[in-house]
Structure 1
Amino acid sequence: MRILHTADWHFGKTLEGRNRIAEQAEFVDELITLCEKEAVDLVLMAGDVYQTVNPSAEAEALFYRALDGLSAGGARGVVVIAGNHDNAQRINAAGPLADKAGITLLGLPKDSVALTSQTATERGVSELEQRVERVDGGVGFVELKIPGCKESAVVAAVPYPSEGRLNEVLSETLDEEQMQQSYNKRIGELFQELAGHFRDDTVNLLMSHLYVNGGIESESEVQIQIGGAYAVSPDVFPQAAHYVALGHLHRPQDVKGAKVPVRYSGSPLAYSFSEEGQKKSVTLIDALPGQPVSIREVSLQSGKPLVEWNATEGIAQVEQWVADGRDGNAWIDLKVHVQTGLDLENIHYLRDLHPGFVHIHPILPVADGDTETSSEENRDRPSVDEMFRRFFEERTGGAQADDELVELFLSLVAEEEADAASNADDGQGDDGDTRQGHSDKTDDSHKTEDSKEVGA
């Protein structure tokens, strides 16, 4: 049996307000083609279908198109679980239609999977043999009979298991260490309970959306733990599993210290500049009952690269790079060294120069007696427009401020700065440096449903 593991699609996620739905659609097409080329029997999507709990219509349409293409008319198995970004009920909502195509959708950790509704007599044996069939199922697990495979797959699926979504009080204390121990113990127990459905004659798979201690994080992920309270240790995974498919971390990586193969497939696109240079991929697994699995990472080609430009020679150097066609199809984090900052006219000029500029960081000379600020510190310091974009998104439940609105806000800020500078010249202001360069860096944020989920 050949299994494809993917996760963290984040349909609807933008890059500082830049729409990426076309890149995400390109990924969907590539994934469907890959499944056909590699003769994939079963697709595991380990959570975070969407970026927000209230996704746009175009994000939902893309998800349904992905399900339709991946299922191959019911001939290929597909199992999708909700991540911390997803509304669990929204993931489940398409269940009645998905069931007919052999697609299993699970929103909550204790959701139950029903068996295939029609019998072989009702549908005809020849038709049934060509479609995925649920031959067993219950709370948190499903057994799938897949056309062309002699063996069945038992999939134990645990969507994002927060305390709220488990609907359990896991600790009576707020002590972080005890909370972490209680959470780790409960998740381990849950995995072991589900592993009771694994058999020697089946391919046994576990999938979940959570953070394992030791995993390498990126800026684009929204934390799903308070300190370490929502993290688990690598030894919670049952040894009876042939493979454990995880979602949440955007960098493709194996989980070190686990007694079975445990892996994050990573996100299909780079969603922040902290992921610059990461090679995005999906994971292919070949599995047979009673044998170790074979794991292969397959690189993806979809999406624009995220790159950094450091124009030490100022705007003229940026102009030359653009004229040379450098990184013409990329999203760019631009640092431009200037003497007196960048005004709105400069920013407009640079944005018209290259549509891929996302962040524009003015790098000013270091004054005598000042301590030089590192590039990383300069990148991480939010500017006025970044804070406004973040504020607007939080107050509107995920909507993005368009460039015209941001420019209007910045013009008001510029007027205030001019007034403050005038007052300072008259001896009425303070001694603070009023020079402020504008940049466009922000992290997509959202509010999750559970009281203990933490937004970035």
Structure 2
Amino acid sequence: MRILHTADWHFGKTLEGRDRIGEQRQFVDELIALCDEERIDLVLMAGDVYQTVNPSAEAEALFYRALDGLSAGGTRGVVVIAGNHDNAERIAAARPLADKLGIALMGLPKDVLAPTPAVAGQVHRVRAGMGFVELEIPGCRERAVIAAVPYPSESRLNEVLAQTLDERELQANYNQRIGALFASLATRFRPDTVNLAMSHVYVTGGMESDSEVQIQIGGAYAVDPIVFPAAAQYVALGHLHRPQAVSGAKVPVRYAGSPLCYSFSEAGQTKSVVIVEAQPGEHATWREVLLTSGKPLVRWRATEGLAQVQRWVEEGRDANAWIDLEVHVQTGLQLEEIHRLRDLHPGFVHIRPVLPAQDRAEEESAGAVDAPSMGELFSRFFSERNGVVPDDALVQLFLEMVAEVDADPDALDEPPADEESEGVGA
């Protein structure tokens, strides 16, 4: 059986207000074509379909287009689980239509799915229940049993995992509960089936980037690799945006990563999906397939000033990229100069002037970890305070307010003006 593992699509996510739905459409087309070329039997999408719990109609339409193309008219298995960014009920809402094509949509960890009627030449859900499906797929000699745990927070589990706020107790109880969930689901595995597990969790030791909203509180919502069932032949995970294997597990466990770079902390990363080959009774083998969709994220450090930036643009450097620009200047940047830079290249996202006095500090901190952007810091703060991810419109409004204060620090003390003022984001 040939399986494709993908995750963290984040449809509707922008880059500091820059629309990326066109890049996401390009990814969907590439993914569908890849499934056809590689003769994929089953697609596992391990959570975070959307960027927010209230996605745009455009983002939802792209999700349904992806499901339609990936299922290939019901001849290919598709299993989708909700991540921490998703509204679990929204993910499951299309189930009456999805079931007819053999597509399994799981929103909550305790969602109960039902078997589906057998239709000649289509995916057939032979057995199903809370957190698992057994699929019969056209052209496959074996059936697949998928044990799935969508993003398992306390609220989505509808359980209290600790009687105190002690982080160590919460972490121990959380690990125990997730392990128990998978142990129960693993009883559905059989020696004659391809046995797979999937979830949207943070595993201790995973490599994060700034584009992920934290799903662990300290280490409380981090799980140990041993929670995954040893009887699974492959475990497909979502949440971390860097493709990576999980060490310390008894079976192959991987994060597929996001299909696009979603923050400049991911600049230079190559995105991919995982193709898995599995047969009953043996550990699965896997390989990464690199993706070509989307614009790269790059950093420019123009130590020679504005003339160097203009020269790079004229040379066509990174013409189809999103750019984080650091330009060294003697006296700062005027508003007109910032406008001219943005006219030079539509891909400039950040423009940061560096004055001579800053050069030494920059050199000393060259090896430091990049700080999150203002938009990412706001998203984290809002999520921690309110329990949901802010939508892009709210983030953009916050960034515009910050830009106005940067342009005119006295604006905080002034009454609102009758006319809208123009702000510039660095």
TM-score, length of structure 1 as denominator length? 0.84
Give the match for residue 226 of structure 1: 217
Deviation at 1:349, TM superposition (A): 1.2
Cα distance in 2 between the residues matched to 1:248 and 1:225: 11
Structure 1 equivalent of residue 336 of structure 2? 345
Task: Give the stretch that moved more between structures: 358-367 or 404-413.
Answer: 404-413
> What is the CA–CA distance in structure 1 between the aligned matches of 2:276 and 2:360, rounded to whole Å?
58
Aligned to 1:190: 181
Q: Hey, what does 1:316 align to over in structure 2?
A: 307
Greater mean alpha carbon deviation, residues 282-291 or residues 397-406:
397-406
* Alignment of structure 1 residues 243-282 onto 2, 5 Å: 243-282=234-273
Counterpart residue number, 1:164 = 155
Are residue 74 (structure 1) and residue 74 (structure 2) matched? yes
Cα 1:141/1:286, change in 2 over 3 Å: same
**Which structure would you say has the larger RCO, counting Cα contacts within 8 Å and 6 or more residues apart?**
1
Alpha-carbon contact 1:88-1:107 (below 8 Å) kept: yes
Q: Secondary structure at the match of 2:357?
A: coil
Q: CA deviation at 1:400?
A: 2.8
Equivalent position of 1:424 in the other structure: none
Conserved? CA contact 2:14–2:392, under 8 Å = no
Identify if the C-alpha distance between structure 1 residues 381 and 7 changes in structure 2 by more than 3 Å, giving closer, same or farther: closer
Equivalent residues of 1:389, 1:401 under 8 A apart: no
Contact 1:243 1:293 in 2 (8 A): yes
Q: Distance in 1 between matches of 2:129 and 2:397?
A: 51
Give the unaligned 5+ runs of structure 2.
414-422
Q: Size of the alignment, in residue pairs?
A: 414
Corresponding position: 1:238 with 2:244: no
Q: 1:140 to 1:332 in 2, by over 3 A?
A: same
In the alignment, what sits opposite 1:23?
A: 23
Measured in 1, the distance between the counterparts of 2:79 and 2:378 equals 39
- Structure 1 window deviating more from structure 2 (240-249 vs 358-367): it is 358-367
Identity of aligned residues (%): 68
Q: Does the 8 A contact of 2:403 with 2:425 survive in 1? A: no
Distance 1:300 1:278 in 2: 11
CA contact (8 A) 2:42 2:77 kept: yes
Matched letter for residue 82 of structure 2: A
Q: Which residue number corresponds to residue 36 of structure 2?
A: 36
2:144 counterpart residue number: 153
Instruction: Map Cα deviations across residues 319-356 of structure 1 (whole Å, 9 max, x no partner).
Output: 00000000000000100001111222221111111000
> 5+ unaligned residues in a row in structure 1: which ranges?
121-127, 421-436, 441-456
Task: Please give the root-mean-square deviation of Cα atoms over the aligned residues, in Å.
Answer: 2.9
Bigger-Rg structure (1/2):
1
Kept in 2: contact 1:142–1:154 (CA 8 A): yes
1:290 aligned counterpart, secondary structure: coil
Q: Is contact 2:214–2:380 with CA below 8 Å preserved after alignment? A: no
Seen in structure 2, the aligned counterparts of structure 1 residues 405 and 187 have a Cα distance that, compared at 3 Å, is: closer
Shift of 1:69: 0.1
Give the deviation of 1:105 after TM superposition: 0.1
Offset, 1:42: 0.2
Cα distance in structure 2, aligned partners of 1:370 and 1:5: 43
Q: Is 1:306 aligned to 2:297, yes or no?
A: yes
Task: Give 1:189 shift.
Answer: 0.6
2:171 corresponds to: 180
What amino acid maps onto 2:407 in structure 1? A
3-state SS of the aligned residue for 2:393? Answer: coil
- Greater Cα shift, 17-26 or 388-397: 388-397
Q: Does 2:50 match 1:59? A: no
Distance 1:413 1:223, change over 3 A: closer
